[in-house]
Amino acid sequence: MPSRTVPHPLVARSISLVFAALVAVACSGPAPSPVATGVPSSTSPSAGPSKAEPSAPTVGEIEHRTGAADVVLRFSYGGGFVPIEYLASQGPGFTLFGNGVVVFQRAATAAPPPDANGVVKAIPWRTAKLDESQVQDLLAFALGQGGLGIARDSYPSSGVADAGDTIFTIHAGGVDKKVTINALGIDLQPGPDSAARAAFNRLAERLRDFDRGGSIGSDVYQADRYRGILGERAAAGNGAFAWPWPAVKPADFVPGANGSGEPIAPHRAMSLDEVAALELTGIEGGLQGLTLLGPDGKAYTLALRPLLPDEPS
């Protein structure tokens, strides 16, 4: 399905203004309106993942790579007191790729309920395409009012047990870094990082609600591969599915690192045909809690999530 192009008026700017904003990041002011406005068209190129390709040259007033698999700005979560299966199948909440395609998850007020077999079908990711002026606007905000231009690599918290991390990755304007903020959004005692945390929270809020509650048009993200995460169960229980892949064995799911280099449970990249063999509908966003009875007689639980263009498995 083609991605939607989000129209936006051309805003003239210069790189010097961006760096002036970096110096002023500690001054808290009202955030500008979200990047995406208006009714999108459906005539832009596809936003689906593509095979790895050479990165295109940098362009624009805030330089950035332009390849379909080049991550320019990413917002994700990690850690915290959550089930291992959830961590293994968790994906970035927002990614801007070099070609202007964005892939994001809408903020959910509650987790989807499991079905009669205990399967939880995840909310699908959405996709749209920004023009270069919109990309510049978003990057200027992220580097300036969003605080990433002058951020350290790490912002730990004290006294907050089991709090998760908010992680920003940016490769633009000569800034190449991953910034990890523990317990962002949780009320902490005022300290030397209060202004920086306020800036990061502004950026997180903008990316977390990128399409303003669904009021801005986008399309369901159609992945061409999924990550399958397999775990052993003590018993199959009710609602177990027969193993659907004659050519795939449980041993083909191997532990290792995901696309970000983080260790995860046994997993493998799965084709659309392999996902279709499950004969389940409404799983474009992935799933958790599917019980399979393996060819070795053991019970397994399967989680799936769509892979993004930069993720090999």
| pLDDT the model gives residue 89 | 62
For Cα atoms 154, 264, 78, give the angle at the middle one, nearest 5 degrees.
30
Q: Where does 94-240 show beta strands of DSSP type E?
A: 94-97, 101-104, 120-121, 126-130, 154-155, 164-172, 175-182, 219-220, 225-233
| pLDDT the model gives residue 92 | 93
SS3 84: helix
Residues 180, 239, single domain; the answer is no
Cα distance between residue 123 and residue 214, in whole Å:
13
Of 181, 208, 235, the residue at which a domain comes to its end is 208
| pLDDT the model gives residue 114 | 92
Of 145, 180, 208, the residue at which a domain comes to its end is 208
Residues 238, 95, single domain; the answer is no
Contacts of 71 (CB under 8 A, 6+ apart): 95, 96, 97, 98, 169, 171, 310
| pLDDT the model gives residue 34 | 41
Positions of the chain with pLDDT under 50: 1, 7-53
Residues 163, 263, single domain; the answer is no
Residues 25, 155, single domain; the answer is yes
pTM of the full predicted structure? 0.81
Of 208, 238, 269, the residue at which a domain comes to its end is 208
| pLDDT the model gives residue 75 | 97
Whether 216 maps to a domain, the answer reads no
Whether 199 maps to a domain, the answer reads yes
Residues 54, 202, single domain; the answer is yes
Residues 160, 262, single domain; the answer is no
| pLDDT the model gives residue 226 | 96
Whether 219 maps to a domain, the answer reads no
Residues 115, 261, single domain; the answer is no
Residues 49, 139, single domain; the answer is yes
How many structural domains compose the chain? Answer: 2
Residues 153, 266, single domain; the answer is no
Parent domain of 45 = 4-208
Whether 46 maps to a domain, the answer reads yes
Residues 276, 137, single domain; the answer is no
Whether 275 maps to a domain, the answer reads yes
Residues 140, 285, single domain; the answer is no
Cα distance between residue 77 and residue 162, in whole Å:
13
| pLDDT the model gives residue 5 | 60
| pLDDT the model gives residue 6 | 58
| pLDDT the model gives residue 10 | 33
